[in-house]
Structure 1
Amino acid sequence: MSNEFKYIIFHKPYGVLSQFTQETPQHKTLKDYIPVPDVYPVGRLDWDSEGLLLLTNNGQLQHRLSNPRFGHERTYWVQVERIPDENAIAQLQTGVQIQDYRTRPAKVRLLPTTPNLPERDPPVRFRKNVPTAWLEMTLTEGKNRQVRRMTAAVGFPTLRLVRISIARVHLDCLQPGEWRDLTPSELELLHNMPKAGKAVYRRTV
C-alpha cells in the first residue's frame, strides 16, 4: 500500500452527500464519482449545496483546513430571493445572530452580474415575480448551514449555494461531478498557509 499523500479537488453536484457511505437511497455519495480509496473530505458541503470539496488522506492538513481556529477563507456564490440592500449586506459583513451564536465578520458583496456557472440539476424553483440576486460571501468559519442561516436572518433566503474556493484553491472550470488531483502549485499554497489562527483571522476580515 502506498504511503504517499493524495489531494483531490471535486466539484460536488447538488443532491450529493459529502461522504462515501450511503444513508438515504435518494442521495448519491462521493463513491458514485471518486474511485480513489482512503481519501476523506475536508469539512463538508450540505447535500443541497454545490461546489468545491477537497479530499485527502493527509490528516494534518485536513485538521488545519477543518479547524475553525485557523480561520482560512471559504468563498461562496449565493443566489438569494430579492435584491439585498446596503443595510442587509452591512449586517452580513459585521455579523448576524444565528440562534445563540453571532457570526464572525465576513467579506460580502453584491455581484453585478450572474456568475458563469453550470445549470443546476434540478433547476432552482423561482417564485413568480420575485427577483433574485447573487452575493459573493467569504467566511472564516463553517457552522452548520451557516450561509443559508445568515441570508435568512437578514430577510433574503438562499436559493442556490456554490462554494468556489477554499483557502487559495479555486474551483475554476471544473464541471459538476468532475474531480482532479491538486497541482503542485495548489499544494504549495495549502502547505504554506499561515498556522496562527488569530493572525489569519485578522488579515482576512
Structure 2
Amino acid sequence: MAKLILLNKPFNVLCQFTDTDGRDTLANYVKVARVYPAGRLDFDSEGLLLLTDNGQLQQKIAAPEHKMPKTYWVQVEGDITAEALMALSNGVALKDGRTLPAEVRKIPEPDVWRRQPPVRERKAIPTSWLELTIREGRNRQVRRMTAATGFPTLRLIRYSVGSWTIDGLAPGTLKTLEIHAPEPAKTIHRRPARSRKPKPSKGKTP
C-alpha cells in the first residue's frame, strides 16, 4: 500500500519542505515523514497538492507522459469572450510551443475561501471565472494561456488531479489515504543471440 496525502495548499506557500529565505513551506502543514510532492504547484497558486511516500505512484501522477488531467478554477481579469474560450479549447501558441487542447467553460464564482491577501480587483474592470482542465504540466502554463488570449489570471486554484479533489478541505488542511501502489514497470531482458557455426561445404576437397 502507498500513502497519498491530499493537501489544500494555501497561497504563497512553497511546494517544498525547506527554504533558506524564510518563506512559508510545506513543513508548516504536512507533519508526515518521508512523503514528497507528486508534481508541483506554484508559490502564488492555491489548491490541491498531492504527496506520497511511493516512487511509482509519484511517477504515475507527475510524469507528463501519463497526461493525468488537472482541473483549475481560474479568475481572470475582464469579461472573457467566446473567442478566448475557443482559443483555450483549441490550444494556445506559447513561446515553448502550442498547448494541447483544453477543456474550458465559464462558471459562476465558486464558493471558495477568501484569499489572504485578497486579490486586487479594479472596480472599473469586471472579472470572470473559468473551469479549465489540462493534461500538461508546463511552467506557469495556465497563467500563460489566459494571458495569451488577453485575459490575465488574477487567482488560480487547482481543484482536482485525476479523481482526487479539494472537496471538504479548508486551506492548509490535508487528508491521508492508503491506496494500492502501482506495479513497477517490468524490464524485458533479452537473451543474446547465439552465434551459429558455419556449415561445412558440401563440395569435394581438392
Normalised by the shorter chain, which TM-score bucket? 0.7 to 0.9
Residue in 2 aligned with 1:121? 116
1:65 aligns with 2:65: no
Identity of aligned residues (%): 51
Residue in 1 aligned with 2:95? 99
Q: Deviations over 1:87-107 (max 9, x none)?
A: 100000010011131100010
Q: What TM-score comes out, normalization by structure 1 length?
A: 0.86
Residue in 1 aligned with 2:20? 23
Question: In 2, Cα distance between the equivalents of 1:191 and 1:168?
Answer: 16
Letter of the structure 2 residue corresponding to residue 22 of structure 1 = D
Residue in 2 aligned with 1:173? 168
Match among 76, 80, 84 for residue 80 of structure 1: 76
How many residues of Structure 1 are paired with residues of Structure 2 in the alignment? 183
Instruction: Give 3-state SS (helix, strand or coil) of 2:138's partner.
Output: coil
Q: CA deviation at 1:191?
A: 5.7
Q: Would the aligned equivalents of 2:56 and 2:182 in 1 still touch at CA under 8 Å?
A: no
Residue in 2 aligned with 1:154? 149
Letter of the structure 1 residue corresponding to residue 11 of structure 2 = Y
Structure 2, unaligned runs of 5 or more: 184-206
Q: CA deviation at 1:55?
A: 0.3
1:32 aligns with 2:28: yes
Q: CA deviation at 1:24?
A: 2.4
Question: In 2, Cα distance between the equivalents of 1:64 and 1:77?
Answer: 23
Q: CA separation of 1:174/1:104 partners in 2, compared to 1, >3 Å: closer, same or farther?
A: same
Letter of the structure 1 residue corresponding to residue 45 of structure 2 = S
Structure 1, unaligned runs of 5 or more: 193-205
Q: Deviations over 1:23-64 (max 9, x none)?
A: 322x20000111111100110100000000000011001101
Question: In 2, Cα distance between the equivalents of 1:139 and 1:146?
Answer: 9
Question: In 2, Cα distance between the equivalents of 1:83 and 1:136?
Answer: 15
Residue in 1 aligned with 2:194? none
Question: In 1, Cα distance between the equivalents of 2:60 and 2:119?
Answer: 34
Larger Rg: 1 or 2? 2
Question: In 1, Cα distance between the equivalents of 2:10 and 2:166?
Answer: 12
Q: CA deviation at 1:180?
A: 1.4
Q: Deviations over 1:156-198 (max 9, x none)?
A: 000000000000111102000001102x6xx46x969xxxxxx
Aligned Cα RMSD in Å? 1.6
Q: What TM-score comes out, normalization by structure 2 length?
A: 0.85
Letter of the structure 1 residue corresponding to residue 125 of structure 2 = V
Bigger proportion of residues as helix: 1
List structure 1 runs of 4+ shifted beyond 4 angstroms: none
